[in-house]
A and B are shown apart, each in its own frame.
Chain A
Amino acid sequence: AQSVTQLDSQVPVFEEAPVELRCNYSSSVSVYLFWYVQYPNQGLQLLLKYLSGSTLVKGINGFEAEFNKSQTSFHLRKPSVHISDTAEYFCAVSTPGGSYIPTFGRGTSLIVHP
């Protein structure tokens, strides 16, 4: 069974500063990795995904993430954040085969201050 750990429950940052949201996973087989964003009172929206190939994945809204197999990590980064990036961010993992049910982390609340 796979699991996901999001190491930070809350990350405060000032506008235009860079940010990194950390995600580590555990799985005995190869994985698919996802980052979702959830704005207040809304459902989850996919930011980016890693399925195979290049370990650096670029997503929407200027976010990117790097798959590191040796460290079992998939950290999310943005070089310069905006107030509008304030939201909850969820890392998720699923595995090929089986029922592909994704396992979500507990989420990281990104708070961007002016």
Chain B
Amino acid sequence: EAGVAQSPRYKIIEKRQSVAFWCNPISGHATLYWYQQILGQGPKLLIQFQNNGVVDDSQLPKDRFSAERLKGVDSTLKIQPAKLEDSAVYLCASSQNRNRGQSIQYFGAGTRLSVL
């Protein structure tokens, strides 16, 4: 089965510019997650979707970050405007069902963002 697809793999922008990341989860996976992984740290959840609805976005900086999953399949994460501290790897993950804590998350390779 195909894994979680993310694009682009790398992105370099200047501060105050905008950027968007795309994620296509494993087919049939209802739950989609976006994580931010700053160098030297573990992934931090930004937002969790169940189908096309937001389950948890409590750690998403909503003044500059937005995410959508309009058709309940692929998803886009946007940053506008970007700050230097947004430099990180943005990971997308998917799982079959959030209502089962043992549901395994499958991760994409991530998008490495550098803000100059």
Contacts and interface: CB of A to CB of B under 8 A. Distances in A.
Do these two chains really belong together in a complex? yes
Secondary structure call for the B interface: loop
Given A44-B107, A99-B48, A101-B48, A106 B102 contact: no
A106 to B, nearest CB: 5
Interface in B93-110: 93, 98-110
Interface residues of A, number: 25
Classify chain B: how many residues form its interface, as a range: 20 to 34
Interface in A22-69: 32, 36, 41-46, 49, 51
A97 B99 CA distance: 8
A86 interface: no
Contacts, number: 59
Given A43-B91, A49-B104, A100-B101, A107 B109 contact: no
Majority SS at the chain A contact face: loop
Interface of B: 4, 40-45, 48, 55-56, 91, 93, 98-110, 112
Given A99-B55, A102-B105, A104-B44, 8 more contacts: A43-B91, A43-B109, A43-B110, A46-B105, A51-B102, A96-B101, A97-B101, A101-B56
